[in-house]
Amino acid sequence: MTRLETPPRAQTRVPRRLTLLGPAFVAAVAYVDPGNVATNVSAGAEFGYLLLWVVVAANLMAVLVQYLSAKLGLVAGASLPHLLGRHLPRSGRLLYWVQAEAVAMATDIAEVVGGAIALQLLFDLPLLAGGLVTGVVSTLILLVKDRSGQSAFEHTVLAFLAVIAVGFVAGLVIEPPAADAADGLMPAFQGAGSVLLAAGILGATVMPHAVYLHSALTHDRHGHLPERTRRTLLLRATRWDVGLSMIIAGSINAAMLLLAAGELRGVAGTSTLAGAHSAVTASLGTAVGVLFALAMLASGLVSTSVGCYAGAVIMDGLVHRRIPLLLRRTLTLLPALALLATGADPTRILVVSQVVLSFGIPFALVPLVWLTSRRRWMATSANHPLTTMVAALVTAVVVVLNALLLWLLATGRG
């Protein structure tokens, strides 16, 4: 039985295309991590519905970038880190790996801290203990893939995404958005502060580790498929996979902003995750507050698992080394625990991790666009010139916005 074949019983119950979905939902976790929660809630609380259009634009960018990453893994038969590892000199590979690993680790720190904050809100655990629990549970999630395979891991991620969606949408069910929420779909700004937050939302749209990982997920799930018909089928299924997963992730992000705009606008302290949770609880009740905190916890747990998985893909592709899962989880967990142990401000940790992440974005996007446009690796599936042009524009926008964020932070304006 080939990789594309489905057992007869499964074929009678589930459409064939649905059995091919899954990798994009794992990558989509990067778009609903604790950093996204903080940014979207801050935008809604401070500017109401004004920046809803930015969330929509960010999601459209994500659809294109993640599809190109998935297509690269399917058609070229290797992940983005593996392709770079094949063609860079040894010194180049090592330097590339250092920056990619630093970005993955910085992202992981933010996600562990987010999980620790949620555990403190739910169970009054000290942040350090919460970070440790987050690390342990995320390891168990990773063991699902190690012991039961990628499909089981994808199903686990989907379950966590469901918790995240319910937790952040629950408030909107009780208090639907106001009629003027649709006005936020019209591009507009309101002073320098709104521009800064827009840069934060758009500039953080593309997580480098999600780009590296998605190309590996599709290759690991389906293998290299030179046959034109199979490749066509998988590319069509991948478009559905990416589209559906990004619609879900984008809807969750929009729900965060809409909830904050409707219930938290003008409330003091909502610039922190703990403050936002407190305001949601005060406005909509304890039950919604608990669901909100559970969504934050699920976000931290599953996103740090995916981040650790991405780190393994990066190391394997660029330096051709693999280390045991438990060792990698321990090594990537230590920086977050060390920061929490020092009593560092969790919000500040999230901001600094975002700065580190910004440096890695060009290193992920530029080679992705270039490789997917080359027939040498993509054959007849190489990007159409218009696709390459749009992807290059998206890359330029994201890079410029992240440079703007770095400049604003460096000059004390962020």
> Following DSSP, what letter does each residue of 307-369 receive, concatenated?
HHHHHHHHHHHHH-----HHHHHHHHHHHHHHHHHTT--HHHHHHHHHHHHHHHHHHHHHHHH
pLDDT at 16 over 80: no
Q: How confident is the model at residue 2 (pLDDT cuts 50, 70, 90)?
A: very low
pLDDT at 294 over 80: yes
CA gap 365, 178 in Å, rounded? 37
Least confident of 189-203, 256-270, 286-300: 189-203
In this structure, the chain runs to a length of: 414
- As a whole number, mean pLDDT of residues 313-321 equals 93
Burial of residue 218 (number of CB atoms within 10 Å: 0-12, 13-18, 19+): buried
pLDDT at 312 over 70: yes
% of the chain exceeding 70 in pLDDT: 91
More confident residue, 116 or 358: 116
Residue 341 corresponds to which amino acid? A
- As a whole number, mean pLDDT of residues 326-332 equals 88
More confident residue, 142 or 15: 142
CA gap 208, 318 in Å, rounded? 15
Q: How confident is the model at residue 13 (pLDDT cuts 50, 70, 90)?
A: very low
- As a whole number, mean pLDDT of residues 358-381 equals 91
Q: What's the pLDDT score for residue 230? A: 58
The pTM assigned to this predicted structure is 0.90
Least confident of 88-102, 277-291, 346-360: 346-360
Q: Phi and psi of 308, rounded to 5°? A: -65, -40
Q: What's the pLDDT score for residue 7? A: 42
What tens digit of pLDDT does each residue of 29-38 get? 989 998 888 8
- As a whole number, mean pLDDT of residues 7-28 equals 67
Q: What's the pLDDT score for residue 344? A: 86
Contact 112, 333 (CB under 8 A): yes
pLDDT at 64 over 90: yes
Cα–Cα nearest to 113, from 297, 388, 360? 297
More confident residue, 69 or 218: 69
The region that residue 268 occupies, defined by phi over 0 for left and psi between -120 and 50 for alpha, beta otherwise, is: beta
Which DSSP state fits 384? P
Cα–Cα nearest to 84, from 361, 307, 364? 364
Q: What's the pLDDT score for residue 179? A: 85
Q: What's the pLDDT score for residue 392? A: 96
Q: What's the pLDDT score for residue 204? A: 65
Q: What is the mean pLDDT of the chain?
A: 87
Q: What's the pLDDT score for residue 72? A: 94
Least confident of 162-166, 298-302, 367-371, 405-409: 405-409
Q: What's the pLDDT score for residue 364? A: 94
Q: Within 13 Å and on the Cβ side, how many CA atoms surround 351?
A: 18
